[in-house]
A and B are shown apart, each in its own frame.
Chain A
Amino acid sequence: MTATSPTDALSYYGRPIIKEPVWEKAIPLYFFTGGLAGASDLLALGAQLSGNPRLRTSALAAATAGVAISPYFLIKDLGRPLRFLNMLRVFKVTSPMSVGTWIFSAESTATGIAAACRLFGVMPRVRATAQVVAGLIGPAQATYTGALVAQSVVPAWHEARRELPVLFASSAAASAGGAAAILTPAEHAGPARRLGLIGGVAELAVSKLMERRLGKLVGSVYHEGEAGKYSRLATASTLAGTTLMARAGRHRTGAVAAGVLLLTGSLCKRFAVYHAGKQSAANPHHTSIPQKERGGRAVTQPSRRTGNGSSPSGPTR
């Protein structure tokens, strides 16, 4: 029988077909802190090139905070935390986590050098070079996590493979703009405000695109349960943050409030994506129905087949 809706679709006692991701809250937290660091490093590089040392310093501070806390989240979530260095045994292009480990290693090293030079006021040329390196790796740092979750069998992630990296990039831009707008005096913070605005608007737009791509069945996860909750929170915060940044971003309190809202929106968006993956993995129909609709050939029947093709079986539940 061809199943068309979840209610008459087949499953084995309603059990999931694939396994729910084992990752815990540390992973969406890292998506946020890693994205913040990557986009902030690029913002700091822009500030360095355009001769805006105030903005450079605050963006670098946000990036440093991001790369400093990230390893804690990454290692905490391992089943064998003491073996985290095993990630550095190999480089595999088929594994965004492997590629990402190297990206993050380079990003955090460069950011650390730039921050240390700034803090101790030494070696300005080393600092500038390190900032260039960190800024150039920044976009990769901010987007590879989107590729990482897309490279899975989880329907809400794999089916959104075209949108997730750019969603994470937008979310990272919004958070970096927000953080720098908080940390920088208004007269130097113009680019930070505009980055927050651009990122926030892009985050809202790409989220819509992604949900449309996922379709009615799998896309429903963004309206249910934890994913729905965080999704609504993210939309409200980011919408309020961009509006406030545009209207009152040049005033100190306005900039701080808008920055906090953009950071909150970005963080909630990562949690929405994380929970969406868990929820779609737990539902066997999110795996089986799109696969059936796509067609393919996992099943082969012998050519001598004489049956009329109708199944004697109904749903198992």
Chain B
Amino acid sequence: MKLADGVETYGPEAERRVGFFTDTSVCIGCKACEVACKEWNLVPEDGLVWTGNSYDNTGELSANSWRHVAFIEQQAPDPLKRGNQDFRWLMESDVCKHCTHAGCLDVCPTGAIFRTEFGTVVIQDDVCNGCGYCVTACPFGVITRRELSGDGAAHKCTLCYDRLQDGMEPACAKACPTDSIQFGPLDELIERARERCGDLVEAGVSEARLYLADENDGIGGAGAFFLLLDEPEVYGLPPQPIVPTKHLGTIWGAAAVAAGVLAVGVAAAFFGGDE
């Protein structure tokens, strides 16, 4: 497991990296995580609407939804059930991934987004000026601005930074009745998740896979990773997310070349001689 970008600046004050392992195979879709998060973090209401998409009326992660339970109804046999079933539920509680290489943190121009001593990513809402750059830099669509009735700043999951500082687990994990959301030191969680995934595959759930548990992926692995039972896109997750900063050198290089081309173009305009 990699150290999260920026944690080294804490020196001896750095804490052990913590995170979430969300095991979707035991999620029952109760949304206790969503409610606990709203209650603890005073996250405002995000519109009382019916989406028509199964039991999902939250819709997506946003400034006003820091946990989101996805519901997928599939015409497919459930390998965990006996009998001639041709239907299965997929439920997944989604959350900010607290990436090792966090795009939102990289692009934030005010320093409002920072890496905590626990390796998590937090927005200081009293510093954020709502420029919206982090919204375009998140490979998972986690962040939005709290518009209109809100404060106009960007908001997202803090992994309950206040609770962590008091040695408590985040509200969603605390409230989860099936331990689908597990909180703990990230290296322990990854080990446990690998074991669980292997057990499921041996039990016949060939589709079981870990998502974002690999430190060599495009975001350097995540502080919140998942055990999924189908392709990531089925849950609305990107299959191979990449932090945009990965191409920072190419982008600044292209800008430097472009600036040079412009200078040459202007110079050429003066050396054209008069027509």
Contact = CB atoms under 8 A, between A and B. Distances in A.
A97 B133 CA distance: 8
Contacts of A300: 209-210, 213-214
Interface string A117-140: 000000000000000000000111
B74 interface: yes
B218 A19 contact: no
A21 B217 contact: no
Contacts of B130: 78-80, 83
A287 to B, nearest CB: 6
Interface stretch (A193-201, A216-224, A225-233, A254-262): A193-201
Nearest to A74: B131
Contacts of A306: 201-202, 206
Contacts of B214: 297-298, 300
Interface in B211-238: 211-214, 216-218, 228, 230-238
Interface stretch (B8-16, B37-45, B101-109): B101-109
A29 to B, nearest CB: 15
Interface in B190-209: 194, 197-198, 201-202, 206-209
Contacts of B262: 39, 42, 138-139, 142-143, 169-170, 172-173
B153 A152 contact: no
Nearest to A196: B269
A194 B216 contact: no
A169 B259 contact: yes
A199 B265 contact: yes
Contacts of A154: 136
B245 interface: yes
Contact of B259 (A96, A139, A192): A139
Given A144-B255, A165-B254, A153 B206 contact: no
Q: Which of B56, B128, B232 has the most CB of A within 10 A?
A: B232
A19 B143 contact: yes
Given A79-B154, A147-B251, A165 B233 contact: no
Contact of A19 (B141, B153, B217): B141
Contacts of B202: 304, 306
Contacts of A77: 131-132
B109 A95 contact: yes
B129 A311 contact: no
Nearest to B59: A15
A194 B272 contact: yes
B51 to A, nearest CB: 8
Contacts of A11: 233-234, 236
Contact of A46 (B106, B194, B269): B269
A77 B137 CA distance: 17
A185 interface: no
Contacts of A1: 231
B236 A166 contact: no
Contacts of A86: 110-112, 127-129
Nearest to A89: B111
B80 interface: no
Contact of B231 (A98, A157, A177, A311): A311
B236 A19 contact: no
Contact of B263 (A42, A150, A194, A309): A42
Contact of B269 (A80, A192, A305): A192
Given A42-B266, A307-B201, A78 B129 contact: yes
14 contacts: A10-B231, A79-B146, A80-B153, A87-B129, A153-B242, A190-B275, A198-B265, A295-B240, A297-B214, A298-B218, A301-B208, A307-B201, A311-B230, A312-B207
Sort A-B residue pairs by CB-CB distance and give the 8 closest, nearest first: A79-B130, A307-B206, A79-B152, A12-B236, A296-B240, A139-B259, A83-B129, A165-B258
Given A23-B132, A90-B109, A173-B262, 14 more contacts: A1-B231, A15-B236, A17-B140, A17-B237, A43-B266, A79-B129, A79-B132, A92-B106, A191-B269, A291-B241, A298-B218, A311-B231, A313-B74, A316-B234
